[in-house]
Chain A
Amino acid sequence: MANIILNGKHLDLQNSTTLHQVVDQFCKGNKHVIAELNGTIIKADQWRTLAVKEGDQLELISIVGGG
């Protein structure tokens, strides 16, 4: 298991879970997810090949309404 921090909360994931799988699980249907892993934006074309690992800090961000 790999314990990561996703949007500020601890989360246990199977080893070698890819970023794509995390996004798919938590943001289904949202085509405009922004992923920031340990402070770096990861482009969507890298999500399938990048596995999260123990201690990673992942932020899943989206554009929302704002003034």
Chain B
Amino acid sequence: MQDDPLIIAGKSFNNRFLLGTGKFKNKTDLKDSIESSETEIVTVALRRIDLERHEENILEYIPSHITLMTNTSGARTAQEAIRIARIAREAGHGDWVKIEVINDSKYLLPDNQETIKATEILAKEGFVVLPYVSPDLYVARELVKVGAAAVMPLGSLIGSNQGLKAKEFIKILIEEIDVPIIVDAGIGAPSHAAEAMEMGADAVLANTAVATAGHPAILAKAFSLAVQAGRLGYLSKLPATKTLANASSPLTGFLYNP
């Protein structure tokens, strides 16, 4: 197997499965899922501390060699996303940021225009910016132009487990955009992840599916393996599909020919 690292902003990763850390029932499931998947990048969020009750800090459960990427979830505008990214960096949590700007509470679709604005400003400030967007070629081109380190198109609605509903549009980004394409959101099963990788996505991020599975650590591992399998399938240069049958065995020398 050839050396095939994922490279984002000059940093090299051996594992192309990214794990979101939200919604886990307990921190042990999260820790076990990080271990079983061997993920090297996880997303986290920032929230006000609940002053009424003691909460364990999630960072105690994330090994230090893992790249933390702060998600700007909760931001409704570019300015709010920028503030979250700056707080995370000031607090020493690094400069990797997933821009997520959402105004709509029903579909939780990302606001592409605000995301472009935030990406431009944060990239200029030296952040490694990975914007989460609806897959749109013009938006992706603009994001690259203003300094995005990767583009994260949604597979389907956040948390829906519907898989690659946006497949044909993501495929366009894979063909046309030069920075890594990381499929994010809606990935509900390992087969979805494999499908994304087979068509040439550079990486896949999942969260809800893993966190809410009966056995999160098992599914985390399955996702990681599916991402690897899909990647190998892509690298193998898959043969085209055909409408009609095509025999696998030789069509000459049959034993029962007259």
Interface residues, chain A, with chain B CB atoms under 8 Å away: 6-9, 26-34, 36, 41, 59-67
Say if the beta carbon of B36 comes within 8 Å of chain A: no
Count of A-B contacts with CB under 8 A? 98
Which residues on the B side are within 8 Å of A32 (C-beta)? Answer: 57, 59, 91
Say if the beta carbon of B44 comes within 8 Å of chain A: yes
Which residues on the A side are within 8 Å of B91 (C-beta)? Answer: 32, 34, 41, 61
> Which of the four size classes fits the interface of chain B?
35 or more
CA distance A66 to B23 in the complex (A): 7
Q: Which 4 A-B pairs have the closest CB atoms?
A: A66-B45, A67-B20, A67-B207, A41-B90
Say if the beta carbon of B43 comes within 8 Å of chain A: yes
Q: Are A63 and B44 in contact (CB under 8 A)?
A: yes
Which residues on the B side are within 8 Å of A8 (C-beta)? Answer: 48
Distance in Å: Cβ of B248 to nearest Cβ of chain A:
43
For B219-256 the 0/1 string (1 means CB < 8 A from A) is: 00000000000000000000000000000000000000
Scoring B48, B58, B88 by chain A CB atoms within 10 A of each residue's CB, the highest score goes to: B48
Interface residues, chain B, with chain A CB atoms under 8 Å away: 20-24, 30, 43-49, 51, 54-55, 57-60, 68, 70-71, 73, 86-88, 90-91, 93, 158-159, 185, 205, 207-208, 211
Q: Are B46 and A62 in contact (CB under 8 A)?
A: yes
Distance in Å: Cβ of B101 to nearest Cβ of chain A:
14
Listed by A's residue number, 6 A-B pairs whose Cβ atoms lie within 8 Å are A32-B59, A41-B86, A63-B59, A63-B88, A64-B58, A67-B71
B74 closest partner in A (C-beta) = A66
CA distance A8 to B70 in the complex (A): 23
Given A7-B49, A26-B49; A65-B24 close (CB under 8 Å): yes
Q: Are A61 and B49 in contact (CB under 8 A)?
A: yes
Q: Are B90 and A66 in contact (CB under 8 A)?
A: no
Given A7-B48, A34-B87, A41-B91; A63-B43 close (CB under 8 Å): no
Q: Are A36 and B20 in contact (CB under 8 A)?
A: no
Given A30-B49, A32-B57; A61-B87 close (CB under 8 Å): yes
Q: Are B49 and A66 in contact (CB under 8 A)?
A: no
Distance in Å: Cβ of A20 to nearest Cβ of chain B:
15
CA distance A27 to B50 in the complex (A): 8
Given A32-B57, A67-B20; A61-B47 close (CB under 8 Å): yes
Q: Are A66 and B71 in contact (CB under 8 A)?
A: yes
Which residues on the B side are within 8 Å of A7 (C-beta)? Answer: 48-49, 51
CA distance A41 to B89 in the complex (A): 10
Distance in Å: Cβ of B31 to nearest Cβ of chain A:
12
